[in-house]
Structure 1
Amino acid sequence: MADYIEIPTPAGTFDALSAGEEGDRPVLLLHGFPQAAIEWREQLAVLGGAGCHAVAPDQRGYSPGVRPTEVADYRMEELVADVLAIADRLGWARFDLVGHDWGAAVAWAVAAAHPDRVKSLTAVSVPHLDAFARALREDEDQQRRSEYMQVFRRSGSDKLLLEDGARRLRRMYEHKIPEHHVEEYVQRFSEPGALDAALNWYRASKLTEAIGPIRVPTLYVWSTDDGALGSTAALATGDHVTADYRFEMIEDVSHWVPEQAADDLTRVLLEHLIAHQDA
């Protein structure tokens, strides 16, 4: 079982889930959109029982204590700074970093800019950002898959997702994740300003900016039925990692890997952590 904790930082106080004992191997898990730290409940339980101190924060905009209103406050450099501030507060000089969806995008950026802080990287769904940027420029399939981003960037997109009992928001989960998670997500995003803050990640994003190579041991997990992320960038991601690299493809699973394929993801994550115990 994970415990609820609060992590005060200069940007504000982050809500988080924590499993395992302080002093154990530090693992930080970053959630995606439209989710929260609870997407990692299965992984937290296993990691906490396997000698890890695993922490999953509700990130900027998701934690009520860190919910600025300006779009510029959701730029990638702010999100990266949050990760380092959380690690600093936890007393982690180096840590294993895990991310899904937008959490993976932030994790790629952290690992690229601060390899001295990251012991190993696990990215789920979102490929290396340079590979993704190239796919957005050159691959028609990825361009079609990413058209939804333009909708999310528009003012008022939060109201569109929440109207009619959050019908469109609920549809995004594709009935592939636990229903109690869906209800918790809908409840969270129905709070005033919560969904608009989460959508600011899209409005502030500049995914065409290069982040450079990854120089830490990396596991990348991609699922074949992901409607948002095609194979072009997924297969090219290894070209952007200069350290030990492992690519895992999960068949017949949608975008929601940590919840829909919890056992498979947890297994390969543990294998990756064990393989780089002494990194």
Structure 2
Amino acid sequence: MPDFNLTPVTLSTGVTLNVAAEGDPANPAIILLHGFPESHRTWRHIIPELARTHYVIAPDQRGYARSSKPAQVSDYTPDKIVADLIALADHYKIDRFTLVGHDWGGAIAWMAALTRPDRIARLIIVNAPHPYIFQKTLFDDPAQREASQYITKFRDTSLDQGLIGAGLERFFGTTFAKVLTKTVAGQDKAAYLDEWSQPGAMTAMLNWYRASQIVVPGMDETPERPAFLDAPFPPVTQPTLVIWGMQDKALLPSQLEGLDALVPDLTVVHVDAGHFVPWEAPEAVVHTIRAWLGG
């Protein structure tokens, strides 16, 4: 398994992130953002391949592993995490770059592309829903609404009390490992449990869900529809590649419907994998990214 030297980087946003940086800094820059409940290790099979032609930056985002864990839920709103991304690029003196995001990292990548087109040159999304489509399907697609009920559970702060010791093992087996298409054991499992057991890590990771403004209706609820769903939504202007594991049980294929209207320069590639595509099918991810960047 690839092992990377992590460097603590203190950002102007006030947090310190552990960062893997690989490749020649003279090459084009590519920044990789992981999601829940992982770390830079999401990309452990991807980084060495991309580093052959790019300068690759892969942080442990705020709240994860041994990076800073601010105490308040409000410290995890997406705007603050986008600010971390830009501050990270500034630290490495990177102006414009290709941004890759999976899961929550992809949610941040969508927002960064929309709000900082001056810095994001190209966008690559791996199983992460566009904010407009995700919110729309939570109201209009019963299957997606049902698949997303775990978010309400994650927002319950009483959950945190049991996420220590044996509770982490249960979390691993009931809410993480069961959605994977590959078995996680040995060194991989030990690495996850080590990251999750860092003081405050589980609460900080779950605070990403609690800080989000996404409305997740209960199955028998009809809450007021968010106003932005009935108004024009700004387009993503960057060339965008979406890699989608079609066996994803949490984010259904409805997340791809209508995406071309919101992303004019769009390429979508389907992969035979579940949600955690970057390490379930790393060869497909690397091949797809290389082909697209080359094109």
Task: State the TM-score, normalizing by the size of structure 2.
Answer: 0.87
Q: How does 1:94-109 map to 2 (within 5 A)?
A: 94-109=96-111
SS at match of 1:227: coil
- Take 1:63 and 1:35, find their aligned partners in 2: how far apart are those partners? 8
Partner in structure 1 of residue 38 of structure 2? 35
Cα shift readout 1:65-113 (whole Å, capped 9, x = no counterpart): 4210100010011011111000111101100000000000000000011
Partner in structure 2 of residue 203 of structure 1? 210
The yes-or-no answer on 1:20 pairing with 2:23 is: yes
Partner in structure 2 of residue 127 of structure 1? 129
State the superposition RMSD in angstroms: 1.7
Task: State the TM-score, normalizing by the size of structure 1.
Answer: 0.92
The yes-or-no answer on 1:136 pairing with 2:111 is: no
Contact 1:177–1:256, Cα closer than 8 Å, also in 2: no
Shift of 1:62: 1.1
The yes-or-no answer on 1:45 pairing with 2:67 is: no
The yes-or-no answer on 1:112 pairing with 2:132 is: no
Q: How does 1:202-241 map to 2 (within 5 A)?
A: 202-207=209-214, 212-241=234-263
Per the alignment, do residues 183 and 122 of structure 1 end up closer, same or farther by CA in structure 2, a change over 3 Å counting?
same
Partner in structure 1 of residue 177 of structure 2? 173
Contact 2:242–2:269, Cα closer than 8 Å, also in 1: yes
- Opposite residue 226 of structure 1, the aligned amino acid is D
- Opposite residue 129 of structure 2, the aligned amino acid is P
Contact 1:25–1:53, Cα closer than 8 Å, also in 2: yes
Contact 2:65–2:198, Cα closer than 8 Å, also in 1: no
Alignment partner of 1:194 out of 155, 178, 201: 201
Shift of 1:234: 2.0
Contact 1:221–1:249, Cα closer than 8 Å, also in 2: yes
Identity of aligned residues (%): 33
Partner in structure 2 of residue 261 of structure 1? 281
Q: How many corresponding residue pairs?
A: 272
Partner in structure 1 of residue 87 of structure 2? 85
- Take 2:263 and 2:25, find their aligned partners in 1: how far apart are those partners? 31
Unaligned runs of at least 5 residues, structure 2 = 216-225
- Take 2:136 and 2:67, find their aligned partners in 1: how far apart are those partners? 36
Per the alignment, do residues 91 and 182 of structure 1 end up closer, same or farther by CA in structure 2, a change over 3 Å counting?
same
Contact 1:162–1:168, Cα closer than 8 Å, also in 2: no
SS at match of 1:269: helix
Cα shift readout 1:112-146 (whole Å, capped 9, x = no counterpart): 11111111100111121111111111110110000
Shift of 1:227: 1.0
SS at match of 1:115: coil
Structure showing greater Rg: 2
Moved more, 187-196 or 143-152: 187-196
Shift of 1:197: 0.3
- Opposite residue 282 of structure 2, the aligned amino acid is A
